[in-house]
Amino acid sequence: MNTTLGSTAEYLDAVREALEDLPDDEVAEIVDDVAEHLDQVNAELGGSASKAALEQRLGTPEQYVAELRAAAGFPEPVARTTRSRSTQPVLRFLVTWGLRGAAGVAAVGLVLMFADGPPLAAPYLLGCAVGVIALGVWVFARRRVSEPMSSLRDLPDARRLERGLAEVIGTAWGSATVEFVLSLRPAWWLLRAWVATYLLMLALGGPPAFPVPRTAVGFAVLAATVIASVWLGRRAVHRPLSGWARRGQTAGNAALAVLTPAVLVLASYSESYWQFWYDEPYYESYPTGLYHQDGSVILNLYPYDQDGRLLEGVRIYDQDGRPVDSLEVWEWDDCIDAGGWYPGGPQGNVFPRPAVFYGADGQSRCVDPSDAAPFGPALPGGTLPGDNRTRGGPGVDDAATVEK
């Protein structure tokens, strides 16, 4: 199968080269015809014709083109710019395997991205980018930039894919599926408008408030893109575009289609991911943090008994018996474990918690609560028993120090 497609594609390449001086449109039409012809002859020859077998049946590509040109009344070819024939198979090989690799990476990346969220979007996007670059290299190398689709159709995998699709569409359920998918077109118009809005809001800065924009600007942008997208979609259905407009349409659709999974993942994680990213409370879905009336955050609780002794291992509950375990956590706190929790039992409501201590050497480390307890005249006892810390260590302004 591989060699077949290779030899017909190679033959077709040579035919295309021999037609190079003709107008692009005409070349595209002829190449269309010849591709079909080669397929038929190849099938007649048993489906796996070598290049030699093709040439025995049809003559060399140059002879074939000479005969075709004579019958079609085209002028003798003008001295055409020769291009090293040997670069073509190498290029074809590189592009083919580049695309296969990119498709594989993108497929794995897609699964990873959906499983693990935005931080793992990179492999998917990388695979897509490499694929786009490979396709671009192929189209430009063929110097048929105005006919990108016919260049792409020359790739062995594209022909195989096209054939497979044609086979599927040929079946009863295949055509029913195609009809169903086509009926979903309006849904795609809405989806792409949404994706475009999301990307636009992202480009304008800040975490986009999604799934639905929460600002007037967001709504205005979404409304505008929806109207534009549906208008363009309906127009393209009723009056198919041609030329560069059509190419632009295809490229735009392809770009949005590629980005859609990434945007879906990003949006579905937007609550936890973006808020984390923008330093908003990490555990937003948890009920409380403790704050002073002036808004400064309470990170730790230091209970003292009436004699001014620091109590340790105290469990704190609220009026409903619900553990107070959701104080703010700084993600760079040396004391929390990988899950973002302080040690101290399953409820995490044991106070005082271990605290970060900044030593004289400027290094931070997690220390026992009694080593980090605040002290000063306002506190019970005024000083801590056995306090031998260096002044300038953590004190009442613990939070500010850690926040740095």
Partner 1 sequence: MDTSQLLKGVLDLAVLAVLRDSDGYGYDVVRRLRAAGLTEVGDASVYGTLRRLYRAGGLNTYVVPSDEGPHRKYYGLNDAGRNLLEQSTKTWRGFADAMTSLLENGAKEAA
What is the rounded distance in angstroms from the CA atom of residue 182 to the CA atom of residue 73? 42
What is the rounded distance in angstroms from the CA atom of residue 102 to the CA atom of residue 137? 14
Contact between 11 and partner 1 by CB under 8 A: the answer reads no
User: How many other C-beta atoms are found inside a 10 Å radius of the C-beta of residue 321?
Assistant: 6
Contact between 169 and partner 1 by CB under 8 A: the answer reads yes
- Out of 6, 20, 21, 41, point to the residue binding partner 1 (CB under 8 A): 41
What is the rounded distance in angstroms from the CA atom of residue 57 to the CA atom of residue 175? 36
Report the greatest alpha carbon distance in the chain.
112
Contact between 396 and partner 1 by CB under 8 A: the answer reads no
Contact between 162 and partner 1 by CB under 8 A: the answer reads yes
Q: Are 12 and 154 in contact (CB under 8 A)?
A: yes
Contact between 400 and partner 1 by CB under 8 A: the answer reads no
- Out of 166, 176, 204, 311, point to the residue binding partner 1 (CB under 8 A): 166
Burial readout 132-143 (b: 16 or more C-beta within 10 A, e: otherwise):
bebbeebbebbe
CB of 97 to partner 1, least distance (A): 22
Contact between 318 and partner 1 by CB under 8 A: the answer reads no
Contact between 39 and partner 1 by CB under 8 A: the answer reads yes
Binding window for partner 1 (CB under 8 A); candidates: 124-132, 167-175, 355-363, 383-391: 167-175
Contact between 387 and partner 1 by CB under 8 A: the answer reads no
Residues 43-62 within binding reach of partner 1 (CB under 8 A): 43, 58-59
Choose between 59 and 211: whose C-beta lies nearer to partner 1: 59
Binding window for partner 1 (CB under 8 A); candidates: 25-33, 91-99, 290-298, 317-325: 25-33
Choose between 39 and 312: whose C-beta lies nearer to partner 1: 39
Q: Are 61 and 15 in contact (CB under 8 A)?
A: yes
DSSP per residue, 49-67: --HHHHHHHH--HHHHHHH
Contact between 30 and partner 1 by CB under 8 A: the answer reads yes
Burial class (CB in 10 A: 0-12, 13-18, 19+), 129: middle
What is the rounded distance in angstroms from the CA atom of residue 338 to the CA atom of residue 278? 20
Residues 98-157 within binding reach of partner 1 (CB under 8 A): 153
What is the rounded distance in angstroms from the CA atom of residue 350 to the CA atom of residue 331? 19
Residues 73-92 within binding reach of partner 1 (CB under 8 A): 73-74
Binding-site residue total for partner 1 (CB under 8 A)? 34
Choose between 18 and 263: whose C-beta lies nearer to partner 1: 18
Cα angle 382, 386, 391 (rounded to 5 degrees) comes to 70
Cα angle 21, 26, 30 (rounded to 5 degrees) comes to 100
Choose between 122 and 168: whose C-beta lies nearer to partner 1: 168
Choose between 71 and 79: whose C-beta lies nearer to partner 1: 71
Interface residue list for partner 1 (CB under 8 A) = 26, 29-30, 32-37, 39-41, 43, 58-59, 63-65, 67-74, 153, 159, 162-163, 166-167, 169-170
